[in-house]
Chain A
Amino acid sequence: MQRAIIAGLILGILLASLGVIATLRKMSFFGEGVAHASLAGIAVAMLADVAPLPIAIIWSVLVALIIYWLERSTKLHSDTVIGILFTASMAFGVILMSQTAGYQPELISFLFGSILAIRSIDLYIIGGLALIIMLWFVPSIKQLTYLSLSEESATVSGIKTKTQTLLFYIALSIATVLGVKILGIILVSALLILPAATGRLLSKSFKSYFTVSIIISEITILLGLFLSYIKDLPSGASIVLVGTAFFLLASLLGKAKT
């Protein structure tokens, strides 16, 4: 439980921060796609009998790079490209899983998330990669926001827009897969979207938007994990339902103000 709380708090900051930029760029579906696509990476690792998380991360980064390339080299919309890639990758994962005989508890924990699934090595991976991502992300927030609002103006002002966009895709795919252990493949993208959406309803400035989103994310995770622990519920589903409750509350508050 202790490891799950530490990992949850780290993921709360990471996913909520990236989620603010992802929702601004209308990339909510990207997290969903990458998380689902990671199933193939997990399946490969399970067949090869190696640790699933690193393989799932590598797989998801590859998927993110292909999405980035296809978005720019074809005239297809982003959601079409993501939809094709995530279903293809998931289908590949299902085929590989079908080759593994018997009940697979680890697969179930990856699909739906489990607080018991966080081992010490996972915690080091989550902590280490989250630190690397935040070391790049925090100094890049201004640039990422500017290029999300006006890519042309950002390019003219000297921002390396292509590089920053590519790095954001990579960071987002890694962060999403890091959250899979607690939230599960099916629900992890909720932690990208829910705190950012709730924070947006309660904020009037960009600074407060970031702060509120992170605070909401941390409270959501703590409450969700607590509920999951005392009621023996799946951790991912508990966290998402708590986050949804906050979102609905913020919507009502916002409506009451107008």
Chain B
Amino acid sequence: MPKQSRKTNKAAIDVHHLSVSYGENKVLDNISFQIPVGNVAAIIGPNGSGKTTLLKAILGLIDVDQGSISVFGNKLKKQRDLIGYVPQKFEFDLNFPITVEEFMGLARKKNQPALVIEEKIKEVGLTPMILQKQLGELSGGQLQRILIAEALFNEPKILILDEPAAGIDIAGEKMFHDIIDHINKDHDTTVLIVSHDMAFVSKVVDQVICINKTLICSDAPKIAMTEKNLKKVFEDVNLSHHEH
């Protein structure tokens, strides 16, 4: 019987009046929401709505204009070790000679045994045989799972994934959903995903955060994903595209 994640009212991530600009262009405007411990949350929004910027701010990769982000009630800098991250784009030269084992070894800390690599590989549904393959030989789905396995090295309490299902086939998507479920329930890890996959968002996640520069909704899918909200999130950007 699958375990249930320990959901509490305590916030794993607390974003408070966050604003971010790139030069003159305001990308996020006064965004506030909380993700309770144990939730699987998804950020949705059209292209250019600030989803990736929001993730980068939560990860501490960019400077913010205003507002604050706390992780488990503390400043982000102090809690970075608790976060695992799977980037959206992992663009590298496919001919670069590096095996999967060597690649995973890059993220392994000195105090972690070499066995941790095999452990994490199995956890994402791959066999250790893949370790001897070259990174450039992997399919999109395999690479995605390797990146997730790598992000699990530190036993993160929060796992952040930027559009992880992009470019994966249907079988791969099912596997991916199972992996997310396993990480959330068996490891008690709060998961935050940027996703375009509405079927995934409505079925799998506990919380939907809709943004389009400002926050439009942050609630359970049934409450948040109303026609009115979705129209507001996606139509405004279509209009702004027409203006260009």
Contacts and interface: CB of A to CB of B under 8 A. Distances in A.
A156 B59 CA distance: 7
A150 B97 contact: no
Given A146-B106, A158-B80, A158-B81, A153 B87 contact: yes
Nearest to A202: B97
Interface string A194-207: 00000010011111
A155 B61 contact: yes
Interface in B40-60: 56, 59-60
Contacts of B97: 200, 203-206, 208-209
Contacts of A131: none
A150 B98 contact: no
Contacts of B60: 155
Interface residues of B, number: 28
Interface residues of A, number: 21
A92 to B, nearest CB: 33
Interface in B64-95: 80-81, 83-85, 87, 90, 92-93, 95
B229 interface: no
A145 interface: yes
Interface string A5-26: 0000000000000000000100
Contact of B98 (A153, A155, A205): A205
Nearest to B108: A142
Nearest to B23: A75
Contacts of B59: 152, 155-156
Contact of A156 (B85, B92, B99): B85
A50 interface: no
Interface in A133-152: 142-143, 145-146, 149-150, 152
Contacts of B99: 204-206
B61 A156 contact: yes
Nearest to B101: A205
Contacts of A2: none
Contacts of A206: 97-99, 102
A74 interface: no
Contacts of B95: 200
Contacts of B80: 156, 158
B138 interface: no
A157 interface: yes
B92 A149 contact: yes
A213 B96 CA distance: 14
Contact of A153 (B56, B85, B105, B134): B85
B107 A146 contact: yes
A65 B203 CA distance: 51
A207 B102 contact: yes
A208 B97 CA distance: 9
Contacts of B96: 24, 149, 200
Interface in A86-123: none
Interface in B98-115: 98-99, 102-103, 105-107
Given A24-B96, A152-B61, A206-B99, A142 B106 contact: yes
A114 to B, nearest CB: 35
A157 B61 CA distance: 12
Nearest to A146: B106
A146 B97 CA distance: 14
Contacts of A24: 93, 96
Contacts of B93: 24
B150 to A, nearest CB: 8
A203 B99 CA distance: 11
Contact of A205 (B81, B84, B90, B102): B102
10 contacts: A24-B93, A143-B106, A146-B107, A150-B87, A152-B56, A153-B150, A153-B151, A156-B84, A157-B154, A207-B102
Q: Which 8 A-B pairs have the closest CB atoms?
A: A146-B106, A156-B85, A203-B97, A206-B98, A206-B102, A209-B97, A205-B99, A142-B106
Given A145-B98, A156-B61, A157-B154, 9 more contacts: A24-B96, A143-B106, A146-B107, A152-B59, A153-B107, A153-B147, A205-B97, A205-B99, A209-B97
